[in-house]
């Protein structure tokens, strides 16, 4: 798993602890992201990734024009319990097959229902990716990449998708960690996500699905994998 995952896990715990103590009660809004990042002494991209993780766990919810609301204070939501590892026998091809089956559908669903607030959050995450590519920082790129894909899942509000996302939390890092370390590949990944974002911004469900599908196929090629997929 990416080294950055441990950093995000630490931030997730920093957010969970005051929630579980009741400092931020269920129904209450968190402080603004700039203020919260300063309080926790972390970067805003890292905070956005941690918030996205907690959204997929059902602990937080982003409300358009209002901020981030606490939904659940249960200690059973702790990241260590919620993030189940994928089976040891799973291969990178298995991971990409799962992503190929789910993520194009999710991208298409998001494109036809996304609101302006969620779209702005996706734009920020792509900007985080661009900044990381320009600075040649693979860890920051991995964090923004994971946050983008988790945000897509969170936007659907589909509890089954959220559950699958929780159980396969390491899948993105395992499938994309090796490619994001290569500057040439990092540029390609950024361009692919900009294409996905443009399709979502146009509310073009078919184009968003196709762009996501192509991204995952490209990931297979970058990893020198020949994915076994159903014939079309």
| Residue 135 in tokens | 């600075």
Q: What are phi and psi of 189, to 5 degrees?
A: -60, -40
pLDDT of residue 227: 82
The residue behind tokens 């998001």 is: 110
Among the listed ranges 45-54, 141-150, 173-182, which one has the minimum average pLDDT value?
Answer: 173-182
Distance CA 156, CA 126 (A): 19
| Residue 205 in tokens | 């469900």
| Count of Cβ atoms closer than 10 Å to residue 160 Cβ | 8
pLDDT of residue 50: 85
Contact 59, 16 (CB under 8 A): yes
| pLDDT exceeds cutoff 80 at 202 | yes
Q: How many CA atoms lie within 13 A of 144 on its CB side?
A: 27
pLDDT tens per residue, range 22-37: 888 888 999 998 899 8
pLDDT band per the 50, 70, 90 thresholds, residue 87? low
pLDDT tens per residue, range 143-156: 888 889 989 998 99
pLDDT of residue 188: 95
Query: What are the residue ranges of helices labelled H in 71-158?
Result: 79-82, 92-113, 116-134, 138-156
pLDDT of residue 120: 92
Query: Which H or E run contains 167?
Result: helix 159-167
pLDDT of residue 53: 80
- % of residues, the chain, pLDDT over 70: 82
pLDDT of residue 1: 33
pLDDT band per the 50, 70, 90 thresholds, residue 164? confident
Averaged pLDDT for residues 203-214: 98
pLDDT tens per residue, range 105-132: 999 999 999 999 899 989 999 999 999 9
Residue 223 — left, alpha, or beta (φ > 0 → left; ψ -120 to 50 → alpha)?
A: alpha
Averaged pLDDT for residues 23-52: 88
């Amino acid at each position: 798993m990416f080294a950055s995952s441990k950093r995000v896990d630490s931030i997730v715990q920093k957010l969970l602890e005051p929630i579980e103590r009741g400092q931020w009660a269920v129904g209450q809004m968190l402080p603004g992201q700039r203020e919260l990042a300063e309080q926790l002494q972390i970067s805003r991209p890292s905070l956005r990734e941690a918030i996205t993780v907690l959204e997929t766990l059902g602990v937080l919810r982003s409300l358009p024009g209002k901020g981030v609301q606490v939904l659940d204070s249960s200690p059973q939501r702790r990241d260590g319990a919620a993030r189940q590892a994928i089976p040891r026998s799973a291969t990178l091809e298995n991971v990409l097959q799962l992503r190929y089956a789910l993520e194009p559908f999710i991208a298409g669903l998001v494109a036809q229902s996304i609101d302006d607030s969620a779209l702005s959050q996706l734009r920020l995450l792509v900007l985080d990716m661009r900044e990381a590519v320009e600075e040649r920082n693979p860890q920051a790129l991995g964090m923004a990449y994971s946050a983008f894909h988790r945000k897509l899942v969170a936007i659907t509000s589909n509890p089954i998708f959220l559950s699958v996302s929780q159980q396969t939390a390491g899948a993105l890092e395992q499938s994309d960690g090796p490619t994001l370390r290569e500057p040439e590949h990092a540029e390609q990944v950024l361009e692919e996500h900009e294409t996905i974002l443009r399709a979502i911004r146009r509310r073009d469900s078919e184009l968003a699905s196709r762009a996501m599908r192509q991204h995952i196929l490209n990931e297979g090629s970058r990893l020198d994998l020949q994915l076994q997929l159903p014939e079309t």
